[in-house]
Chain A
Amino acid sequence: MIPKDFRSIPDFGLAWLDASGPDCDIALSTRVRIARNLQGYPFSVRAKPADREAILATVQEVLDRTPPVADGVFVNIDSLDARGRQLLLERHLVSRELVGRAGGDAPSSSALVASTHEPVGLMINEEDHLRLQSLTSGFSPRETWGLVDSLDEELGSQLPYAFHHEFGHLTSCPTNCGTGLRASVLIHLPGLVLTQEINKVLQGISQVGLTFRGLYGEGSEVVGNLFQISNQTTLGKSEEDLIDHLQKIVGQVIEYERQARAVLVRDAPTVIEDKVWRAFGLLRHARSLGFDELMNLLSGVRLGLSLKLLTGPRVYVLNRIMIFAQNAHLEEASAGSLSGSELDIQRAIYVRSALAEAEPSPGA
């Protein structure tokens, strides 16, 4: 029997925060998703409630025979209240498309399925009928793709996908058709921002078929020097080629970032050390923190840890703050709704207590 509550997802779906993956001092996480649609139904944009219900039922029927989600967690989105939906969104487990607009009603017959033993799952009745997804720690496109690929093989052998001999997998938006694959790496690039090399790098990646976005995906702004780099095209290349390309180019970006950091430490050691400790001091003692301000300060501390200017807190603690100091998480913790200024006060309280457990000493 599939449990109904998302709280039974291992680590609440936050295993990727543990900073255990490759290059995790620079790359926070790797996400891979593929879009699939079922034959015989209109895409979500045209689907009537009865279509959505039928799609959900068709998929649900095969889930029990689909490792590794067979004994997984199944969450009906419309069974969650607005805050529950926002919590999933803040944890990057679902898209805005799946849970509906903030303040609006939940879309009908939408669901999140997550494996309990692998970081892989799927969204049902998103912009496409199915979005298979995996989110892992650090920089690991190949491994993350492998998880999604296996799930796709399992589901595809049981469900009739909409597939075209020339165009490949058919998707609601033609920017996704073919492989339906979007792989992205969430990457922290303060060195390139501070040395003002970042625009060159971003222009460079856009010339080789990659694109960048902010923390919350399409249309979101860049905060805290965090960039999501992903493939731009999905058709005309094999999945392996798309993944290898991302692996290669983002690997280079990580290398540039390391070089930029080395330059900063060599040419402006005092400035950097001051910046890092000021960021830590503000986080440790501020009585009110806006979310963007928090993200920028976390960026400074994250840089300090990577450069060993601080010996604590662990990267894991910073990653957790990034999730738990968001509005819905703060409201959940205080069991009520909070105004803008109350949120900033609660955010500062949360950050102070999270960092109190991990008081650093000056590094070497």
Chain B
Amino acid sequence: MLCDNCGKNEAEVHLTQIVDNEMTTVHLCPSCAAEKGLDAGAAKNIPLTDFLAQMGQAAITEEERAVAGPCTYCHTTVDDFRRTGRLGCPHCYSVYESQLRAILRRIHGSTYHLGKVYVPPASEAADRAARLAGLRRKLQRAVEAEDFERAAMIRDQIRELEAAIDA
């Protein structure tokens, strides 16, 4: 399928918009999409990369650009992030922490992980205890939901972990 805009390149971006309760779909090649991606009215359904690039642009001031980065581990710069919408490595989250906090708040409405607490495998007994506590909470929830198959599985995990601590 060819691009609806230039009619020359292969369309790769399929933009579905709702305007005045009418749903329309436009097929664009990446370069025409990039041009149109800056249209604020289309922001809701444009691909995530463009969406993020805009956020990055809005959130990062010239001053911050001078202070932050590039990442000392993977050398990703603010401009790399703006262009691709992707960070280069886990360390980038520390390097760009304050900018990311602003971006994350705008994407997710929060910056605090409230999901499962992850404890890395090589951790000491204290961490295992935290993991055990987490598993017990999960067991409780599984029992409440009457999901006994899952409860049995979690119980086995708890026993295994307890055995490991005792050993």
Contact = CB atoms under 8 A, between A and B. Distances in A.
Interface of A: 37, 39, 41-43, 45-46, 127, 142, 146, 149-150, 152-153, 156-164, 166-170, 172-175, 177-179, 181, 196, 198-200, 202-203, 206, 214, 218-222, 233-241
B103 interface: yes
Given A160-B121, A167-B100, A174 B87 contact: yes
Contacts of B5: none
Contact of B86 (A45, A142, A222): A45
Given A39-B120, A172-B87, A174-B104, A167 B18 contact: no
Given A166-B111, A166-B113, A220 B120 contact: no
Contacts of B107: 174-175, 233, 235
Contacts of B48: 173, 175, 218
B93 interface: yes
A235 B153 CA distance: 27
Contact of A221 (B25, B44, B103, B116): B25
A163 B120 contact: yes
B14 A219 contact: yes
B76 interface: yes
A166 B118 CA distance: 12
A179 B86 contact: no
10 contacts: A43-B89, A46-B88, A167-B104, A169-B115, A177-B93, A218-B47, A221-B27, A235-B110, A236-B112, A236-B114
B74 interface: yes
B88 A206 contact: no
Nearest to B135: A153
A202 B19 CA distance: 12
Contact of A235 (B73, B74, B87, B104): B104
Interface string B120-136: 11100000000000000
A46 B74 contact: yes
A153 B157 contact: yes
A214 B16 contact: yes
Q: How large, as a class, is the contact surface on chain B? A: 35 or more
Given A150-B153, A172-B87, A173-B87, 10 more contacts: A46-B89, A156-B118, A159-B121, A178-B114, A203-B18, A206-B44, A219-B12, A221-B14, A237-B110, A239-B115
B14 A164 contact: no
B90 A162 contact: yes
Contacts of A150: 150, 153
Nearest to B90: A162
A168 B115 CA distance: 8
A157 B123 CA distance: 10
Given A170-B90, A199-B18, A214-B16, A45 B84 contact: yes
Contact of B52 (A43, A127, A174, A198): A174
A175 B25 contact: no
A323 B120 CA distance: 40
Nearest to B49: A173
Q: Which of B89, B103, B121 has the most CB of A within 10 A?
A: B89
B37 to A, nearest CB: 12
B16 A199 contact: no
Nearest to A146: B150
Nearest to A101: B12
Contact of B108 (A164, A219, A235): A235
A222 B16 contact: yes
B13 interface: yes
Nearest to A40: B90
B76 A46 contact: yes
A52 B48 CA distance: 24
B166 to A, nearest CB: 17
B72 interface: no
A220 to B, nearest CB: 6
Contacts of A167: 93, 100, 104, 111, 113
A175 B89 contact: no
Nearest to A165: B113
A219 B47 contact: yes
B21 A199 contact: yes
B115 A238 contact: yes
Contact of A42 (B16, B21, B73): B73
Nearest to B33: A219
